[in-house]
Structure 1
Amino acid sequence: MAGAARLCVTNQKGGVGKTTVAINLAGALNELGRDVLFVDLDPQGNATEGLGLLEAYDDDPPSLLDGLVDPAGVELDALRREHAEMDVVTSNVDMNAAESTLVQEPDGETRLDTLLDRFETDGDYDVTIVDCSPHLGLLTDNALYATANLVIPALAEPTSKRSLELLFDYVGALEMDHDVTIEPRALVANRIENTRAATEMLEWFDEALPSVPLFRVRKRVALQRAFAAGNSVFAVDEETDMTEVFLDVAETVDEQCGPREVPA
């Protein structure tokens, strides 16, 4: 039995444009004809805002936190919003209590996996994308465990070396704790500028992670305007050369992951 391919977009270093990458990857997959479920697991709700759904951030319960606490019992339509390009499980102000709440729950790091099973059965999605919070902890554990496929946005600057080392150490520990394999599927060098330091970092990315496809996203105002309009760059009436980059990312991860095998 086949289920939706799953991807999480994460980097514990803030300010790398993680949510912009996640939204535009989802938009690119939609452009390829895939039915996409987007999960905003970040308590800050940046993707919820960037998809034009900010009003959901202050909705009354049930919220995504309720879905993580009781993944088998929550009403799915209470958590999901329709968007022109994808269905969205929005974040909510209640998610600020997620870490302290889930740490008290048995198997608190695996709740998202159960919740996604229900969403994917209900919605018959091809791909699920999880946008993570910009730090490591139980929410990121949930995303990594549930998806097992990793898209990493990183800036082309020296500080990315340390953040990637920390991320891979963390992933390795989670793999050992839960006997799972988590695969890095794409490294997205984001907001690239024409500097010598950026060129050197792109070379370092290639050398340090030779088996991980590297994609280059340059700074474009069109990406910011699409975010402000509540869409990916594919759903606005403005052309940019970065659409081809995101389509390349989407085609690569779509081919790598394919449908996920689930128990019958």
Structure 2
Amino acid sequence: MTKRLSFSNQKGGVGKTTIAINVAGALNARGRDVLFVDLDPQGNATEGLGFREAYDEAPPSLFDVLTDPEQRESFPDLIREHAEMDVVPSNIDMTAAEPELTLSRRGGEQLALALETVEADYDYVLVDCPPHLGYLTDNGLHATQNLLIPALAESTSKRALELLFDHVEALELDYDITIEERGVVANRVETTNEGTAMLEWFDEAFPDIPVWEVRKRVALQRAFSAGVSLFEYDADVDMTETFLDVAADLDAQFGFEEPAAATPEAGR
């Protein structure tokens, strides 16, 4: 079965989209077929995967699929091919999605319904949620019911994670679902007293799920600017090993067999 995973943190500026793109690249390197859905109205992942022109295209777009049930069947037509994954881009119209979904009878379920039209073609569907808590994030969390949390190794992350988990708990109650936390990615880790203390806090706060450390590397931003993950940009950068660890752990959690060979060309 296709496995679905959301990347969410209501605090902006944590590198959520960069983490999501590179986890997708790592899964591709392990031979998995990945669909990447950019649910963020800012369209950062859309730009970071080389589809900036799609952000300004005329309807139908992801906005129409989420807000008009008659447009749901057009969801497969939104998919763009990328060297490492397939991509459903965001669109400028997504900035108007929140009020539309608020008025919808099943406002938090629209992405889940849309994914039913395509997901049989993929091993993973990865959803990059907006950096705030609202109906779009609800759609991502409800559709995937699995959560990977990018966070900075700084004290401000504590409050942000408290708000996220309060929201997740409320969503679980509203929809009678269980959202599984699959791991935390501590991003832009630096060797400082605060950074070291926060890594210890992550380990104590999340004893039952993995916590990975991603160090600051210029190559991550350069890969983003080039519209690819590190695996396509420069697979020799040391952080590729960390992202491969994330992908391997996700495969294990979701019950995938270990691939015969993990190469950047193996997947879609």
| TM-score range for the pair, normalised by the shorter chain length | over 0.9
Q: Which residue does 1:108 correspond to in 2?
A: 107
Q: Is the 8 A contact 2:73 2:117 kept in 1?
A: no
Secondary structure at the residue paired with 1:7? Answer: strand
Amino acid at match of 1:76: F
Q: Is the 8 A contact 1:22 1:131 kept in 2?
A: yes
Q: Which residue does 2:60 correspond to in 1?
A: 62
Q: Which residue does 2:251 correspond to in 1?
A: 254
Q: Is the 8 A contact 1:66 1:74 kept in 2?
A: no
Q: For residues 26 and 63 of structure 2, what CA distance do their matches in structure 1 show? A: 28
How far is the alpha carbon of 1:238 from its aligned partner?
A: 5.4
Q: Is the 8 A contact 1:41 1:133 kept in 2?
A: yes
Q: Which residue does 1:203 correspond to in 2?
A: 200
How far is the alpha carbon of 1:161 from its aligned partner?
A: 0.6
TM normalised by structure 2 equals 0.93
Q: Is the 8 A contact 2:56 2:92 kept in 1?
A: yes
Cα RMSD of the aligned pairs, angstroms, is 1.2
Q: Is residue 230 of structure 2 the alignment partner of residue 233 of structure 1?
A: yes
Amino acid at match of 1:147: T
Q: Is residue 142 of structure 2 the alignment partner of residue 145 of structure 1?
A: yes
Aligned residues: 255
Deviation digits for residues 3-41 of structure 1 (CA, Å, limit 9, x no counterpart): 310000010000000000000000000000000000000
Secondary structure at the residue paired with 1:200? Answer: helix
Amino acid at match of 2:217: R
Distance 1:227 1:71, change over 3 A: farther
Q: For residues 203 and 184 of structure 1, what CA distance do their matches in structure 2 show? A: 18
Q: For residues 30 and 131 of structure 1, what CA distance do their matches in structure 2 show? A: 17
Q: Which residue does 1:48 correspond to in 2?
A: 46
The runs of 4+ residues in structure 1 deviating greater than 6 Å are: none
Q: Is the 8 A contact 2:76 2:117 kept in 1?
A: no
How far is the alpha carbon of 1:119 from its aligned partner?
A: 1.6
List aligned pairs for 1:26-45, cutoff 5 A: 26-45=24-43
How far is the alpha carbon of 1:239 from its aligned partner?
A: 2.0
Q: For residues 128 and 38 of structure 1, what CA distance do their matches in structure 2 show? A: 6
What runs of 5+ residues in structure 1 fail to find an aligned partner? 260-264
Q: Which residue does 1:262 correspond to in 2?
A: none
Amino acid at match of 1:59: E
Q: Which residue does 1:119 correspond to in 2?
A: 118
Amino acid at match of 2:240: T
How far is the alpha carbon of 1:257 from its aligned partner?
A: 2.4
TM normalised by structure 1 equals 0.94
Q: Is residue 124 of structure 2 the alignment partner of residue 134 of structure 1?
A: no
Secondary structure at the residue paired with 1:255? Answer: helix
